[in-house]
Amino acid sequence: MSGIIKSEALLVADGHRGSRIKNEKEQWGSGIEFLFSCISLSVGLGNIWRFPYIAFQNGGGTFVIPYLIVLLIIGRPIYYMEIVLGQFSSKGCLQAFNMAPILKGVAAGQVMATMASITYYSSVMALTLRFLFVSFFPILPWSYCRSDWIAECFEADNSVENKTNKISPAELYFHKIVLREYDNINGGIGLPNWDLVICLAISWFIIGAVLIKGIKSSGKAAYFLGTFPYIILLVLLIRAVTLPGAMHGIKFFFTPVWKNLINPMVWYSAVTQVFFSLAICFGTLITYASYNNFSRNVYNDIVIITTMDTCSSIIAGSITFGIVGHLSYETKNSIDDAVKGGAGLAFITYPDAIAKFKILPQAFAVLFFSMLFILGVGSTVGMGSCIIRVIKDRFPSISNWSLSMSLSVIGFMCSLVYMTPGGQFILNLVDFYAVSFTALILAIGELMAIGWIYGVKRFCEDIKFMLGINTSIYWRLCWSLISPVLLLSVLIYTLLDLKPLTYKNQEYPIEVHVIGWCLTALGLLQIPLWAGYAFYHQDNERNSKQKIFNCLRPSSSWGPLNAHLHQQYKEQRLKLQNNQENNKNIFHKIYENIFG
């Protein structure tokens, strides 16, 4: 992201003592670059690839209502909270949690979830490249039935053929040719497909090349990344809604089954999808905001980004369900049975619509898969930047080149598992255990850290110091009560109603579930491990009670990174503390924390 480099006197923590040094702080070239970079991060694969298949799995309209509710009272407040936290501290997500050292493990767990996410996001990019390459063929290979598919495949242009209970060539092409997918993984996941491995290597090479330049490399590109996808989506939307039967699918997308709204898994899916759509609770937003000018008013950015993100999801859902409605019309199956769900849904519905373009379908295929790949670059670069920033905050002498190349090589090796015939089974497993479920619990921890340990009251005072604006009761209530209570309720009901994970109606072997829970534990164990580290790292304090109390307070280095602003902040905090009454009871403190 094209940035300017500014030399500032920075206050950094060196063990237990603060020392002022001359350092270089990267910043965005302009506020517009930050805005478009956040758009390209949030309006990414989470919207175009993940949202449609999650909505399909959860009943279309039954999912949309909880999604919009969660977006309003959880997604947008957390988005604002993380942007403010990153901009105020000018640190990566791990160091930003110096405001509540006892819960620094929340940030560490989020980084681990980001590491898991970037591996399978890169695998989606590899699939996208595979489709992009064959889009240059004179005839799109997913537009016709092959000779060995005759018994199960239907030709879209054959009006005489009986299409009942048959499968579209796009779906067969994806599962049989691209993935060479197994029906189950009881006998193992197989070896990686060489063509997908090549596409994966290219994807990671591009990710690494962008990361090497740091934020300087894609700020200008963000103007393109944030606008080009909408042009392609609008073209596909027009084509999708004009297909026979499309309105039946779109109606399914917007019509809820009211009794299913009490299903906790629908709300769980809505919460985790909001995390993916907005890229919250993964540390990436904190990282991006850390490169902002300290006094930038980000309030308008929040409204613009979250609104565009919602529109993108709704457009992507309308396209997908319009095409599913068309497939239902063609095959005489119900919407639920018209196509198999799962993470590959986007690689079935979008290609199927493109194949039905009468004029230059190859050109539209190239544009669409280029767009999808570009969205993948925007998402994975954000994740990679978060991981690299955490390491550089701790080891500033390591070059960006070394970190970027190391991340690319390790990421490539880890992503190979998704390139196997059983790779989609593993993707589904990692998505649930290592990312979605873990992110839900860590989000509760993040809200507790900022809302109650650091305190909404002090957080709002920090916003006042940084932006000069007062925080409305809407944000205060969401940060302190509504968001954490709703997330905790969803977690409890999800655990009570938890069923064995399946993919394509196939259950996983017991040992695979054990591996999945180990992945969850790996992320969640960061909380007690880092809490223990914060406790035992206080060499100058012997009293255990005082050690715990110190872990609940911001570290000595907490505050604005700029030395002059840091000094002003410390003086302001001292004045506020001197003006506060110390004899307030607990109920008065709770009221004051929420309402100010």
DSSP assignment of 123-161 equals HHHHHHHHHHHHTTSSS-TTSS--GGGTTTB--TT-SSS
Task: Tell me yes or no: is domain 3-595 CATH 3.90.1150.10.
Answer: no
What local confidence, expressed as pLDDT, does residue 581 receive? Answer: 65
- Please say whether the beta carbons of 266 and 352 come within 8 A: no
- Name the CA dihedral angle for 462, 5, 301, 304, rounded to a multiple of 10 degrees: -160
What local confidence, expressed as pLDDT, does residue 160 receive? Answer: 45
What local confidence, expressed as pLDDT, does residue 36 receive? Answer: 85
Spatial separation of the C-alpha atoms in residues 55 and 270, rounded to whole Å: 9
Spatial separation of the C-alpha atoms in residues 37 and 34, rounded to whole Å: 5
Q: Supply the DSSP symbol for 584.
A: -
Spatial separation of the C-alpha atoms in residues 580 and 596, rounded to whole Å: 12
Tokens of 389: 């920033």
Tell me which residues of the chain have a pLDDT lower than 70: 1-25, 156-165, 216-221, 340-342, 539, 581-583
Quote the pTM value: 0.89
Q: How far is CA 525 from CA 112, 116, 326, in A?
A: 11, 16, 47
Reduce the DSSP state of residue 153 to 3 states and report it: strand
**In the chain, what's the furthest Cα-to-Cα distance?**
85
- Closest among 98, 94, 106, 93 to 529, alpha carbons compared: 106
What local confidence, expressed as pLDDT, does residue 161 receive? Answer: 53
What local confidence, expressed as pLDDT, does residue 131 receive? Answer: 96
What local confidence, expressed as pLDDT, does residue 547 receive? Answer: 86
Q: Residues within the annotated binding site for Na(+)?
A: 43, 47, 277, 375, 379
- Please say whether the beta carbons of 22 and 288 come within 8 A: no
**Whole-number CA gyration radius for the chain:** 25
Residue type, 569: Y
Reduce the DSSP state of residue 25 to 3 states and report it: strand
Tokens of 182: 């197994």
Tokens of 105: 């493990």
Hey, how many other C-beta atoms are within 10 angstroms of the C-beta on 517?
11
- Closest among 516, 173, 209 to 380, alpha carbons compared: 209
**Cross-strand partners of 19:** 12
What local confidence, expressed as pLDDT, does residue 162 receive? Answer: 58
Tokens of 524: 């969640």
- Please say whether the beta carbons of 356 and 243 come within 8 A: yes
- Please say whether the beta carbons of 178 and 369 come within 8 A: no
Residue type, 479: W
Q: Residues within the annotated binding site?
A: 43, 47, 277, 375, 379
